[in-house]
Structure 1
Amino acid sequence: MEPAAGDAVDVEPGTVRPGGRTARVREAVLRAAGDALVEQGFDRLDLADVARRAEVGKTTVYRRWSTAAGLVADLLTEMAEQSVPRADTGSLDEDLRSNARLVVRTLTDPRQGPLFTAVVAAATCDARTAGALHRFYAVRIEEWAGCVDAAVARGDLPPGTDAREVIRAVSAPLYYRLLASGDPLDETVADRAAEAAAVAARAGVYVR
């Protein structure tokens, strides 16, 4: 039987996929939480305000998510699940370019860019949010690592290449521009990051 609105949930947020009305409530609350994060940042994220934005009962939000960190953890779970699947072009260079361009599109999106910035900022001061952010990126890196493994299987990269390190090398300079230097992010920058990672991988830099 579907739990009634406001029932306590004794599991980590994001570990149960609700259905029916519960799913609709979760969707509304997570969208409202994202809006609030973009507008106000993590330090001002208030569950009562999120409930008001989502037009759901305050008790429902408090009982299901308990804290702002729990809410952000569930939001990151949702973002990981909704992310675009990896490219599979049969070319390492094209796959890495697709990955880099996807990262740039996300980070420059009017909503997603500020949302990621807010979540990363929150993770620096909240252990639970940091854990959720680490899980989010682990899911995305694992997804895209397949294109590197395929390149190894084709003989395009040396045996023993660490696929996850290659994917991290693609996105690291892009996040640096977003969070540290403030330099422009565009497709040219994306393509350069992808090419640098591919060249390094072919040279054996990422062989374990």
Structure 2
Amino acid sequence: MTIAEGHGRRPGGRSARVRAAVRAATLSELAEKGYTALTVEGVAARSGVHKTTVYRRWGGVEGLIADALEMASEEPWPIPDTGSVEDDLRALARLVVTGFTDPDEGPVSTAFIAAAMQNSAAAVALRRFFASRHDQAAPIVTRAVARGELPPGTDPVEVVRAAVAPIYYRLFVSREPVDAAVADRAAGAALAAARAGAL
């Protein structure tokens, strides 16, 4: 999950290599230590980039988190296209569950949420990340409307939100376990609401 190059930098070359190395180090540090133990010094040591460079370019831990989220928002998401909105929403919800239960991806995903709860810059970056994910997932709903599976005017982003929100509630509010059955129920509830015209 990460942030755009911008600031007039040319893509590619040493700047891109430095950014990629720092981003990889940030993700590794998050996976191993979590957000509260993330430091510029740790990222610099792991990436091989001098900490002065990291401070100058990213400013601190908040900038590292924001950049990692920005880069992730630019990456494609494997959106399902099964030919059925029911199966697509189920697969999407299961994809979210996997992102938090996978032993490699899960700690990083959880660390990003924790960072957003504690830091305003990370919160803004996380909102952008989710907006990108919602936009990428929107074709699930627009295809369903075109096939006549959902009513015209159904809001794609609201359907996607409804399909994944119960998963995040369990993960970060009630702290209950999540699995494929939870994903399927969340997707089913979102689909029922969409079919009823509530979304």
TM-score with structure 1 setting the length: 0.86
Following TM superposition, by how much is the alpha carbon of 1:149 offset from its aligned partner in structure 2, in angstroms?
1.3
Alignment partner of 2:74: what SS?
helix
Give per-residue Cα distances to partners, 1:50-85, cap 9 Å, x unaligned: 010112222221222112111111101222233423
Following TM superposition, by how much is the alpha carbon of 1:25 offset from its aligned partner in structure 2, in angstroms?
2.1
RMSD: 1.7
Give per-residue Cα distances to partners, 1:81-112, cap 9 Å, x unaligned: 33423122221111111101110111101132
* 1:40 matched to 2:33: yes
CA distance in 2, matches of 1:40, 1:89: 38
* 1:123 matched to 2:78: no
Residues 34, 107 of structure 2: 8 Å contact kept: no
Following TM superposition, by how much is the alpha carbon of 1:42 offset from its aligned partner in structure 2, in angstroms?
2.6
Aligned counterparts, 1:4-15, within 5 A:
14-15=4-5
Q: Name whichever of 34-43 and 157-166 sits farther off.
A: 34-43
Following TM superposition, by how much is the alpha carbon of 1:32 offset from its aligned partner in structure 2, in angstroms?
1.1
Q: Which residue of 2 aligns with 1:54?
A: 47
Residues 14, 73 of structure 1: 8 Å contact kept: no
Q: Which runs of 5+ in 1 are unaligned?
A: 1-12
CA distance in 2, matches of 1:18, 1:49: 26
Following TM superposition, by how much is the alpha carbon of 1:158 offset from its aligned partner in structure 2, in angstroms?
1.1
Q: Which residue of 2 aligns with 1:189?
A: 182
* 1:174 matched to 2:167: yes
Q: Name whichever of 65-74 and 164-173 sits farther off.
A: 65-74
For 1:49, the aligned partner's letter is G
TM-score with structure 2 setting the length: 0.90
Following TM superposition, by how much is the alpha carbon of 1:132 offset from its aligned partner in structure 2, in angstroms?
0.0
Q: Which residue of 2 aligns with 1:104?
A: 97
Alignment partner of 1:150: what SS?
helix
Q: Displaced runs of 4+ in structure 1, greater than 6 A?
A: none
